[in-house]
Amino acid sequence: MRCAVVGDPVGHSLSPVLHRAAYAALGLDWTYEAVRVASGTLPEVLAGLDDSWRGLSLTMPLKREVMALAVGARGEVTERARLVGAANTLLVDEPRLRADNTDLPGAVAAVRERWDGEVTRAVVLGGGATAASTGLAACELGAREVVVLARTPERAAETVDAIRRHPGGVHVRVLPLTTPAEEVGPAELVVSTVPAAAQTPDLVLRWARTPVVFEVVYDPWPTPLAAADAAADGTVLVTGLDLLVHQAALQVEFMTGRPGPVDVMRAAGAAALAARAPA
């Protein structure tokens, strides 16, 4: 069977490393590639899939674009993907397509693996699809207030709407990314979905000492925020590799019917990142 991660850019993705490691551990003679698919071209790609294909992992900018495609007579969207408003997983079960989101449960698992404390308030840095899934994960962890800090707040509307859809009745605010921490208020959890290049010294200073810092970026590593948090006493760092491994393990199960081997996949991912690091 064939699987792939699709998006643009996609050459940096660790997904092929993780999925191939899982297939080897499970004794499956499957393939998994990285395929560049630009925004607006996903429909023709899906139209060309035959019965040799089993699944696709979706990265930006396709997580939201796929939602309008995986509906109707040929497809379906899980309730979890509808809640997030984005899908990162597409199961090809000819002639049907089934879209799901493993970022949400993967984020919950990543945090709980590192920390079992209470979450009542969370801050999410960034306003894209990953911010939506991790913001909803904060709700699943118990948060009743989520503050979204976005570089362009008006462009975070879809993310804010997604978090507000959580059945727990969470209160959501959206503010500029540069808002001082004292205006935002304290939180047990801060999730950063912004690129390393956008992590200014001021942003790092404001958020690195939050009890739990969840940095979803895994390459380059460490990001300025992750490095500062790792040096801080009494804080917990949840990494982008943690998230990537847990969501990928769920994708493997979704596509193969067998649980993804988390430890094997994490070891493969860590080795690949170490090989990329400058000497």
Q: pLDDT tens across 86-121, in order?
A: 999 999 886 688 999 999 999 999 999 999 999 999
- In this prediction, residue 75 carries a pLDDT of 78
Pairing assessment for the beta strands 2-7 and 89-93 based on DSSP bridges = unpaired
Supply the DSSP string of 100-154, one letter for each residue.
Answer: E--HHHHHHHHHHHH--S--SEEEEE--SHHHHHHHHHHHHTT-SEEEEEESSGG
- In this prediction, residue 248 carries a pLDDT of 98
19, 63, 121, 246: which is the annotated catalytic residue? 63
Residue 129 among the catalytic residues: no
- In this prediction, residue 279 carries a pLDDT of 61
Strand partners of residue 149 = 125, 175
Q: Is the dihedral of CA 146, 148, 154, 159 positive or negative?
A: negative
Instruction: Give pTM, 2 decimals.
Output: 0.94
Q: Tell me which residue of 166, 189, 185 sits closest to 114, measured CA to CA.
A: 189
- In this prediction, residue 91 carries a pLDDT of 94
Q: Are 13 and 248 in contact (CB under 8 A)?
A: no
pLDDT at 257 over 70: yes
224's CB contacts (< 8 A; 6+ apart) are 196, 199, 201, 204
The backbone torsions φ and ψ at residue 8, rounded to the nearest 5 degrees and listed phi first, read -160, 110
Report residue 277's pLDDT band, with 50, 70 and 90 as the boundaries: confident
Q: What is the mean pLDDT of the chain?
A: 94
